[in-house]
Amino acid sequence: MGVAYENGEGVSRSPREARSWYCRAAIQGLEDAWYNLGWMYVNGCGVAPDDDVARYWLKKSAAAGNAQAAQVLKMIGGKSGARNGCNYVATLPWLKQRCTDPDCRNIVRMVENLSQEYDLDANLVLSVIRFE
């Protein structure tokens, strides 16, 4: 889906949606998404250019054997950062078990959307909501 949104293949082109799908796939371990996120951040495709975030994903991709990722890493240089640019994706383990009804899923989506807009950590926001 990330590729479809990035290129407008069968859906309206939306770099923001592409990034969202790539983040979800990357967090689940999809190596192509690692490279695609790195590429988006290096080139500022739908996101503000951020070499630190790009390095994070390109390093993972290169370590998995992606030669293109290794080349891009050489070109941008610098040390790898710890930020991954996907902190707005909710990944808390308890969500799968306890958040199964539509109302709960809608709240999670709303938190993710607002977290992306305001650069917040969705897991932190959801944890506060759960505690309250």
Mean pLDDT of the chain: 91
Q: Which residues contact 59 (CB under 8 A, 6 or more apart)?
A: 69, 73, 80
pLDDT for 33:
96
Asked if 70 and 97 sit in the same domain, the reply is no
**127 pLDDT tier (thresholds 50, 70, 90):** very high
Q: Which domain holds residue 19?
A: 2-76
pLDDT per position as a tens digit, 14-50: 998 899 899 989 988 999 999 999 999 999 988 889 9
Residue 81 lies in a domain: no
* pLDDT score of 84 more than 80: yes
| pTM for the full predicted model | 0.79
- d(C-alpha 105, C-alpha 11), whole Å: 23
Asked if 117 and 68 sit in the same domain, the reply is no
Residue 103 lies in a domain: yes
| Domains identified in the chain, total number | 2
Using alpha carbons only, what angle is made at residue 44 by residues 39 and 49, rounded to the nearest 5 degrees? 100
Asked if 68 and 113 sit in the same domain, the reply is no
**13 pLDDT tier (thresholds 50, 70, 90):** very high
Asked if 69 and 100 sit in the same domain, the reply is no
